[in-house]
Structure 1
Amino acid sequence: MQITPVIAIHMAAALAALAIGPLAVWARRTRTQRPRLHRAAGYAWVTLMVAVALSAVFISGDKGPRLGGFGLIHLLIPITLGLIALSFHFLVRGNVAAHRRIMQGTYIGSGLVAGAFTLLPNRLLGQWLWSQIGLA
């Protein structure tokens, strides 16, 4: 599989979201809260995650079970978009605790866990990584 413009957009947005996510959390968790920084980083993170999810629609692989070109990993698209919408719903309703739980869970699940799966040897990024360090 070659890197296409869609894959490049997907990877760039995912890596940027991984970097910005902790900043959004840190801005609210420190002794001196920074609501403007939290809001700016949060909106940037949400925008990047929407870009990640939407670009994933146009990426299909050739390994594993497929249904119309989509694999199991594509289930993260509606889950991620739905959780982001739900977190804003809770925020508008004033339920900050639910907003926090959903956003942190989305970061961990869609960012860290899904990101870790991209490093498996049979995935594009994993093939690049493991071949560069001589393990594949």
Structure 2
Amino acid sequence: MQMTLTIAIHMSTAITAVLLGPVALWARLGRTTRPRLHRALGYAWVTCMITAALSAIFIRDFQLPNAMGYTPIHLLIPLTFFSLYRAFVYLLQGNIQGHRKTMQWLYVSACLVAGAFTLVPGRYLGNLIWSN
């Protein structure tokens, strides 16, 4: 597999989401809440997550265990869309706790866990990092 425009878009939005996530979450924690910062970074993070999930649909790998080029990590695509939908439904219902937990869970699962799996040797990014 080589770097394509789709992979570049996916990687840049995913890395941006990994970096924005903690700041967006932090803006609502502690004594001083920063609702404008939280909302602005939250929308930017959601945009990155949607773009990363959409671009992932077009990234297929026939070398790893797969079904029609889709590997198990692709299961995060519908999970991401459902979680984002659910988080906004919670927000519209005024269920801030549900919104918070959903977004925190999505950050950990789709950004941190999935990000860690991309570093495994045999995957594109893992090969870039660990190969001599």
**What TM-score does the superposition give when structure 1 sets the normalisation length?**
0.94
Residue in 1 aligned with 2:16? 16
Matched ranges for 1:1-136 at <5 A: 1-131=1-131, 134=132
Structure 2 counterpart of 1:82, one-letter code: F
- Measured in 1, the distance between the counterparts of 2:32 and 2:65 equals 49
1:70 is displaced (CA, Å) by 1.5
- Structure 1 vs Structure 2: percent identity of aligned residues? 53
- Measured in 1, the distance between the counterparts of 2:54 and 2:129 equals 25
Unaligned runs of 5+ in 1: none
- Measured in 2, the distance between the counterparts of 1:5 and 1:97 equals 38
- Measured in 1, the distance between the counterparts of 2:113 and 2:67 equals 23
SS at match of 1:19: helix
Higher relative contact order (CA 8 A, sep 6+): 2
8 Å CA contact 2:14, 2:52 repeated in 1:
yes
Matched residues, number = 132
Which runs of 4 or more aligned residues in structure 1 lie more than 3 Å from their structure 2 counterparts after TM superposition?
Answer: none
**What TM-score does the superposition give when structure 2 sets the normalisation length?**
0.97
Unaligned runs of 5+ in 2: none
SS at match of 1:105: helix
